[in-house]
Amino acid sequence: MNSRTSRTQMLYTLGFLFFLISSFASFFTGVKVGADKTEAKYAQLAGHKSGEEFSGSYQQQDLVTFYHNVFLPYREFKRSWNEQVDSLARSSDARQNAATLKNLGILADKQYDKVTQDSLFTNSPLLYDSQLNILKSLTLFSQASGKVTAGSSGAEAAKLLRSDNFTASAVKFGLLAQKNFYDSMLKWGSKTNASIPGQAGGQKTISFIQWKKMPLLLKNATIADIMLNRGIYAGYDPQDITAKIDDMIYSGTASSLRLSDIQSSVSLLISTGAVQQQDFIKWREQYYSKEIMPQLPFFYE
C-alpha cells in the first residue's frame, strides 16, 4: 500500500515538474519568437542579406533621417509608455486600468507602423541595427500590454507589467537601439573631427579627470551604454544625464557630495530622480556651445 502510494506521489511530482519546465520553456520561446519574427520581417523589407558587408557611411543626413523617421516615434512612445504606466500605478478604477493597458498596446502598434513606413539604413550598420531593435522593442511592448489583466488595483497591474519578461526584453532592445544611435553619432563625429574617437572605450570606472577631457558625443555614447547596462528606461535622453553630471562637476556639487567618478554620479542622480527632460537644453549654451554635434532637433529644441 505504502509502495503504491509512494509511486503515485512520485508520478504526480514528476508530472508537475514536467509541466513547470514546459511552461517556462514555452514562455521564453514566445519572447524569442516574437523578436525573431520581427527581425525576419524587417530583413525582408530591407532586402538585407545575411553576412552582407556595410560601407558604414554615417553621414549627417543619415542621422537626421533616422531621427525623424525612427528615433522620434520611439522616443515619443517611450515617454508616453512611462507616463501611462505611472498613471496606471496610481489608479483604482478597473475600467480605466483596462483602457490604459489597451491604449498601451495600440500605441506600440501605431509607433511600429510609423517606423516601418520609412527608409532603411543598410549603409550604416549601427543605424540599421538600431531600427531593427526598435521594431523588436515595440513588438514586445505590444505583446506585454496584452498579457496583463487589469484589476481594481492599478498598482498591481503596473507592477506585473513592469516585471513581465516581455517588457524586460522590450526595454533591453529599446536601450540597445538607443546605444546604437548614440554610437552612430560618435562614428559621424570621428569622420568630422579626428580628435573624436570612433567608439566608446567602455571603461568600468571613469574619473572626473577623464570625463572632462571627453568630447560631448563620447560622453553621450558612454551614458547610453551605462543606461543599457543598468536598464535605465526613462523619458529623458543620455545628453540630459551628461549635462546634469557636468553641472554637478563645474558647480562644485559633485565635490561637496564627495563623488569622484561618473558611475557613482549616475547612481546618485537616478536614485534621487534628479535628471529631467530638457536638462541638456538648459545647460547647452553654458557648457556645449563649442562642441561638435549633428543637427538633430533634440540638441537644439
∠ at Cα 188 (132, 199), nearest 5°? 80
| Total Cβ atoms within 10 A of residue 162 | 16
- pLDDT (mean) for 52-59: 63
- pLDDT (mean) for 271-285: 96
More confident residue, 231 or 32: 231
Counting every residue written for the chain, the total comes to 301
Q: In this model, does residue 135 exceed pLDDT 50?
A: yes
pLDDT band at 49 (very low <50, low <70, confident <90, very high): very low
- Lowest mean per-residue pLDDT among 41-50, 94-103, 161-170, 238-247: 41-50
DSSP for residue 69: I
More confident residue, 57 or 287: 287
Closest C-alpha among 162, 49, 177 to residue 111: 177
Closest C-alpha among 167, 277, 144 to residue 231: 167
Q: In this model, does residue 31 exceed pLDDT 90?
A: no
More confident residue, 249 or 48: 249
More confident residue, 10 or 91: 91
Read off the pLDDT of residues 259-275 as tens digits, 9 standing for 90 and up: 999 999 999 999 999 99
- Ranges of each domain in the chain: 54-193, 200-299
Read off the pLDDT of residues 175-220 as tens digits, 9 standing for 90 and up: 999 999 999 999 999 999 999 999 998 778 999 999 999 999 999 9
- pLDDT (mean) for 224-231: 97
Q: In this model, does residue 240 exceed pLDDT 50?
A: yes
Q: What is the pLDDT of residue 172?
A: 98
| Total Cβ atoms within 10 A of residue 62 | 20
Hunting for cell 569622420 — which residue is that?
A: 191
- pLDDT (mean) for 217-237: 97
Q: In this model, does residue 52 exceed pLDDT 50?
A: no
Q: What is the pLDDT of residue 260?
A: 92
3-class DSSP state of 59: coil
